[in-house]
């Protein structure tokens, strides 16, 4: 084979899927920016103990509501100031990344796994079981997610774990619906029939044949749920129904800070900013993923 022939062959060969994905994804500057922020947040969460200058829960009785370093009365000992009982804001914010990522991961893992399983079942068994699953999901959907989460936490009792369970339940219908819709679209295709004719059992058809081809919209839904989960869990924390003090969860920190709105802007502004930046990063990345994974948008 000559060099020219080899080159021609290479040109004709289809682009590796991952490489193609990255080409579409990296063309979206917002998505890349979101990814960078997410990487930073993940690194902060992993190395929180090393990066934080102080303990997130140790209070200093000599330093209540110290303003950030650049303000009058601030000190570089506490670069972003301290809260009402003298805890370092920066260390609390850094440790907060752990809780937000944990909330996002757990919620997406629970509602994603259960939702995809139910969605697959509803798609494959479109008779009574499918109808039953979808009606149940319709009922869950009538309740606004945050309201349902509040009700569930009121039943289960306040706390971070219960808040995560409650939020997971409220996101179930979205995963079920998107999985079922995609499965129904795939079921009519030739490769499924071929696999069925080859004697593949239902479980194999579901998990090995069809599911991998349904992943794109599920991944996008997962990223977008990740960001709303952070928002909703923070809202529960803000209503004193989520993580309980002294946990340095951003929503809970805001609830503590409400009384100091007039006196100390930093205890109110910073945790919310952290939530906004993290959620925005996930939404930007979700948009980029959708553009890169949705075949209809590709030319």
Partner 1 sequence: MLRFLLTRASLVIPTFAGITLLAFVLVHAVPGDPIQVLAGEHAISQERHDELLKSYGLDRPLPIQYLRYVGHVLEGDLGRSLITHTPVIEEFGALFPATIELSLAAMLFAVVLGLPAGILAATRRNTVLDHGVMGVSLAGYSMPIFWWGLLLIILFSNTLGWTPVSGRVAVAFDIEPVTGFLLIDSLLAGDGDAFRSALSHLILPAIVLGTIPLAVIARMTRSAMLEVLGEDYIRTARAKGLVPLRVIGIHALRNALIPVVTVIGLQVGYLFAGAILTETIFSWPGVGKWLVDSINRRDYPVLQGGVLLIGTVVMIVNLAVDLLYGLINPRIRHRRA
**Selection from 105, 84, 103 nearest residue 245 by Cα:** 84
For residues 236 to 255, the per-residue mask of contacts with partner 1, x marking binding by CB under 8 A and - elsewhere, is --xxxx---------x--x-
Given a contact cutoff of 8 angstroms between Cβ atoms, the answer to whether 252 and 241 are in contact is no
The nearest distance, CB 228 to partner 1, in angstroms, is 9
Given a contact cutoff of 8 angstroms between Cβ atoms, the answer to whether 218 and 182 are in contact is yes
Structure tokens at 241: 């129904």
User: Which one of residues 54, 67, 283, 293 is an interface residue with partner 1 (CB under 8 A)?
Assistant: 283
By C-beta, is 103 or 210 nearer to partner 1?
103
User: Which one of residues 3, 142, 188, 199 is an interface residue with partner 1 (CB under 8 A)?
Assistant: 142
Length of the chain counted residue by residue: 299
- 258 sits near partner 1 (criterion: CB under 8 A): yes
Rounded CA separation 139/158 (Å): 24
- 9 sits near partner 1 (criterion: CB under 8 A): no
Rounded CA separation 95/257 (Å): 17
3-state DSSP percent of the chain in helix, strand and coil, to 5: 75, 0, 25
For residues 177 to 216, the per-residue mask of contacts with partner 1, x marking binding by CB under 8 A and - elsewhere, is ----------------------------------------
Applying CB under 8 A, the residues found at the interface with partner 1 are 30, 135-136, 138-139, 142-147, 150-151, 154-155, 157, 227, 231, 234-235, 238-241, 251, 254, 258, 261-262, 265, 268-269, 271-272, 275-276, 279-280, 283-284, 287
């Amino acid at each position: 084979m000559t060099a020219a022939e080899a080159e021609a062959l290479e040109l004709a060969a289809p682009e590796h899927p991952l490489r193609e994905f990255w080409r579409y994804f990296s063309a979206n500057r917002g998505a890349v920016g979101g990814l960078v922020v997410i990487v930073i947040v993940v690194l902060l969460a992993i190395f929180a103990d090393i990066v934080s200058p102080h303990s997130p829960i140790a209070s200093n009785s000599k330093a209540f509501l110290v303003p950030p370093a650049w303000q009058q009365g601030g000190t570089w000992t506490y670069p972003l100031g301290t809260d009402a009982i003298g805890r370092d804001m920066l260390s609390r914010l850094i440790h907060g990344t752990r809780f937000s990522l944990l909330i996002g991961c757990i919620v997406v893992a629970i509602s994603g796994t259960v939702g995809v399983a139910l969605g697959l079942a509803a798609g494959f068994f479109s008779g009574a079981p499918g109808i039953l699953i979808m009606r149940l999901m319709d009922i869950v959907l009538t309740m606004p997610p945050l309201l349902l989460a509040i009700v569930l936490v009121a039943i289960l009792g306040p706390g971070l774990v219960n808040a995560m369970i409650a939020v997971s339940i409220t996101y179930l219908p979205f995963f079920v619906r998107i999985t079922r819709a995609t499965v129904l679209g795939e079921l009519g295709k030739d490769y499924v029939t071929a696999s069925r004719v080859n004697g593949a059992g239902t479980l194999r058809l579901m998990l090995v044949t069809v599911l991998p081809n349904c992943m794109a919209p599920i991944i996008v839904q997962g990223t977008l749920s990740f960001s709303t989960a952070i928002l909703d869990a923070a809202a529960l924390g803000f209503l004193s129904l989520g993580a309980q003090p002294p946990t340095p969860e951003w929503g809970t920190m805001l609830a503590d800070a409400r009384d100091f709105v007039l006196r100390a802007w930093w205890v109110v502004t910073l945790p919310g900013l952290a939530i906004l930046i993290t959620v925005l990063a996930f939404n930007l990345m979700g948009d980029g993923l959708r553009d890169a994974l949705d075949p209809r948008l590709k030319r």
